[in-house]
Amino acid sequence: MLFVAPLLVMVSMGGALAPAVSADDVESLISSMEAISQDANAKNEAVKQLELDLTAGEESLRSLQSDVDRATQEADEAKSQEDIYRSEINRLAASKYRGAVIDPLTNAVSAENPQNAIDRAAYMSVLTRNAQAALSQLSKATENSAVKRGSVTRAIAEAKFRQAELERQHGVLLKEQEELKTKTEDLRKQVESLSREDRLRWEAKNGPVDYSLDGVVGSNPEGMGALQAAMTKLGSPYGWGAVGPSQFDCSGLVYWSYQQQGKSLPRTSQAQMAGGTPVSRSELQPGDVVGYYPGATHVGIYAGNGMLVHASDYGIPVQVVPVDSMPFYGARRY
């Protein structure tokens, strides 16, 4: 009598022998793969957000550098004005030193005639007013120069801080990208090693259904258009970080679908769940963006009749599943 040990029954796979796996073990494997997939997808969304933050930071730094350049130019112009008025003050002071500015009594006594005295007094008055005006302008120019140079100093300090923060974020991004690569490669190997039967079970883990939009009507034209666009991508493969038109990740499908309506949505699932108008589960309309899992690490588009179209996981094509097949996080209307 031949003894067959549990879980070690050998079956033929392409001419080779491989151990058969029980249904419970397959479920355990799929559950494990799903956990890895959720972790990889969450990491993928985090990496995308970091990339967006880094790009925004670089743009902000460029804008800040423009502020530095502008403040420097304004400070130089203020210093130039200060120099002009300082020269005027020095000229007037030199005129007084040479005796041009004298008291009114001396002016009247030394005048050749009354008219000459009047003219000289008027000239002295103008000279005095000019001196006072120049002194006032010098004071303002000096103050402006100090303010502008203070702005330059602050702008440069802020730019250096931003640059250091960007370098830190870039280091974090590189680390996150390496972790994502490890996680996705691990999941990819597990998916590719599945038998055809188990691969079908993996693809069916969220209960995909055949579904059409016949009779589906939405209150939001743009949302309905986005849903229709998403439905044209049924069967398209999953790709981490992909935004179409041939591969998608979850937020990439949402992003691409709304883009076809001329509407630009945020790129990550968390950002998509932070924008738009909040919608409750009971108020869902076709085209609403639905988020799942703590932290909104997954999104799809509500397809009406309790269904959702989404890009699920690696090895699973874009498909329609029940909207409650995953832990509900929230929904947004765009």
Separation in Å, CA 271 to CA 19, 82, 254 = 45, 50, 12
For the sheet with 298-304, list strands across it.
277-279, 328-333, 289-292, 298-304, 307-310, 319-322
Q: Which of 47, 141, 230, 250 is catalytic?
A: 250
Hey, what are 180's tokens?
A: 């994502």
Neighbouring-strand partners of residue 12: 17
Give the span between the Cα atoms of 256 and 88, in whole angstroms. Answer: 66
* Strand 307-310 versus strand 319-322 pairing type: antiparallel
The runs of H, that is alpha helices, within 193-267 are: 196-203, 221-231, 250-259
239 annotated active-site: no
298 annotated active-site: yes
Q: Which of 43, 48, 233, 310 is catalytic?
A: 310
Q: Check: CB of residue 127 under 8 Å from CB of residue 81.
A: no
At 17, is the secondary structure helix, strand, or coil?
A: strand
Residue in the block written with tokens 């302008």:
137
310 annotated active-site: yes
% helix, strand, coil for the chain, step of 5: 60, 10, 30
Which residues are part of the catalytic machinery? 250, 298, 310
